């Protein structure tokens, strides 16, 4: 009886072990299959969530147009390794819960190969865990948020310089070249604004300084009066602003109408041309840091000719601008990674291919694109610009 029981137990254990092995093999097969989701014989499907309508709609629309101008060109010329790129783009209206919903849909229902061209900090940071759990690449984000850079994630690939770099360079410029030390911060009360505020604090701390005042407004509103009064009373010589175009333009115009006339600065996410349009004639002493060069400097940056030609071909009603140029550059880097990954591409190979990019010339002198296994931000240059007669002119390029 005892030996019979031992035999039965042994058989049961062997069956359980076999089931475990089969389950593991099936899971590994599913994982291998997921690496090639969105890859078909003649097509590659990628996905995007961005603000296409609402108070930040200009940013998402223009980023998308810039990217599609290059992607359409690539598709008309044979695609990448014989595959056309199809971009599924959903509108999140700059609303984080909608971004999460859109991302789930792109990954689960649309089975996209990768995520691309997300817009905004409060929206993008909400999908970090989802991206890592799905092991799906997210590349080319229109945000300089630190949380998308540190700690390093294998699946998140940034191309542009960070907000920390933008605020560092403008603080250096204000202190060293303008002789300004009393600096205040006006920011959007969310992850985007907090990130910029932290960047200013870090930059000022290098000089043993602190902001003389801070003030904020709620995302999606124009309620800036209380923040303005607080900053005005501080006697600040300059105000670093982290927000979107309408609230920031209102802040500057109202400040000057009340006799408060410091230098003003905005980081790149503002939507520069919309910001300038909102300022009207109040553009004096206003700086905007950019992560791509101003269009007026076309003779010095070869990428601008290529961008102008393709934008006018595919979106003839659009005027060249910083936002769509950034989308265009994102697409150029995306395509280079796809090419390097080869015809038998999967997600692992794509990330490995991106990490192999070193000194890739996208047509911006002194700003070659480089990635590595320990650095997932391709560019570091910051362009300090000012507004003259409605156009942005280059004040200084720094790295």
Q: Each residue of 43-71: pLDDT tens digit?
A: 999 999 999 999 899 999 999 999 999 99
Q: What homologous superfamily does CATH list for 163-290?
A: Response regulator (3.40.50.2300)
CA distance 269 to 52: 15
Closest CA to 82 of 357, 340, 342, 346: 342
**Where do the domains of the chain lie?**
43-161+298-380, 163-290
Measured CA to CA, the distance from residue 328 to residue 340 in angstroms comes to 19
Query: At a CB cut-off of 8 Å and minimum separation 6, what does 267 contact?
Result: 144, 163, 166, 167, 196, 240, 241, 242, 288, 289
Question: Going edge to edge, which strands form the sheet with 263-266?
Answer: 214-217, 183-188, 238-242, 263-266, 286-290, 382-388, 391-398
Cis peptide before 70 (omega within 30 of 0): no
In this prediction the pTM is 0.87
Are the C-beta atoms of residues 125 and 141 closer than 8 Å to each other?
A: no
Please return the burial class of 11, using the count of CB atoms within 10 Å of its CB with bins 0-12, 13-18 and 19+: exposed
The answer to whether 154 touches 131, Cβ cutoff 8 Å, is no
43-161+298-380 shares its CATH topology with 163-290: yes
User: Which pLDDT does position 29 carry in this prediction?
Assistant: 43
H helices present in the chain, as ranges? 2-34, 57-76, 96-104, 121-124, 128-134, 163-177, 191-205, 225-234, 245-257, 272-279, 303-314, 322-341, 347-355
Instruction: Please identify every stretch of the chain with a pLDDT value under 50, giving residue numbers as ranges.
Output: 25-31
pLDDT at 47: 98
Task: Give the bridge partners for 216, in sequence order.
Answer: 187
- Domain 43-161+298-380 in CATH 3.40.50.2300: yes
- Write the pLDDT tens digit of every residue in 168-188: 999 999 999 999 999 999 999
Structure tokens given for 198? 């932290």
* Distance of alpha carbon 224 from alpha carbon 187, whole angstroms: 10
Q: What is the pLDDT of residue 194?
A: 96
């Amino acid at each position: 009886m005892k030996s019979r029981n031992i035999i039965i137990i042994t058989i049961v254990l062997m069956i359980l072990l076999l089931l475990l092995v089969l389950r593991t093999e099936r899971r590994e097969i599913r994982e291998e299959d997921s690496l090639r989701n969105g890859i078909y014989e003649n097509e590659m499907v990628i996905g995007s969530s961005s603000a296409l309508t609402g108070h930040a709609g200009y940013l998402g629309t223009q980023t998308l147009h810039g990217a599609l101008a290059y992607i359409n060109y690539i598709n008309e010329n044979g695609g990448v390794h014989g595959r056309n790129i199809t971009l599924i783009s959903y509108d999140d209206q700059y609303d984080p819960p909608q971004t999460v919903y859109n991302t789930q849909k792109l990954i689960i229902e649309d089975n996209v190969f990768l995520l691309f061209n997300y817009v905004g900090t409060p929206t993008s940071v909400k999908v970090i865990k989802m991206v890592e759990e799905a092991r799906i690449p997210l590349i080319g984000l229109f945000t300089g948020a630190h949380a998308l850079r540190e700690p390093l994630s294998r699946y998140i690939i940034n191309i542009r310089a960070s907000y920390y770099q933008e605020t560092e360079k403008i603080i250096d410029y204000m202190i060293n070249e303008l002789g300004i030390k009393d600096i205040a911060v006006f920011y959007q009360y969310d992850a985007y604004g907090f990130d910029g505020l932290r960047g200013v604090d870090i930059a000022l701390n290098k000089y043993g300084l602190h902001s003389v005042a801070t003030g904020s407004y709620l995302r999606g509103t124009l309620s800036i009066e209380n923040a303005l009064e607080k900053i005005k009373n501080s006697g600040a010589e300059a105000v670093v602003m982290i927000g979107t175009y309408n609230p920031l333009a209102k802040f500057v115009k109202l400040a000057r109408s009340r006799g408060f006339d410091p230098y003003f600065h905005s980081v790149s996410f503002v939507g520069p041309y919309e910001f300038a349009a909102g300022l009207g004639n109040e553009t004096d002493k206003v700086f905007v840091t950019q992560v791509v060069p101003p269009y007026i400097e076309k003779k010095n940056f070869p990428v601008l000719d290529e961008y102008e030609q393709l934008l006018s071909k595919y979106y003839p009603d659009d005027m060249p601008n910083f936002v769509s140029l950034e989308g265009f550059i994102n697409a150029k880097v995306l395509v280079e990674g796809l090419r390097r990954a080869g015809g038998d591409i999967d997600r692992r190979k794509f990330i490995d291919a991106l990490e192999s990019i070193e000194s890739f010339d996208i047509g911006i002198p002194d700003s070659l694109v480089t990635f590595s296994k320990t650095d997932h931000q391709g560019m570091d240059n910051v362009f300090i610009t000012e507004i003259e007669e409605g156009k942005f002119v280059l004040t200084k390029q720094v790295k």
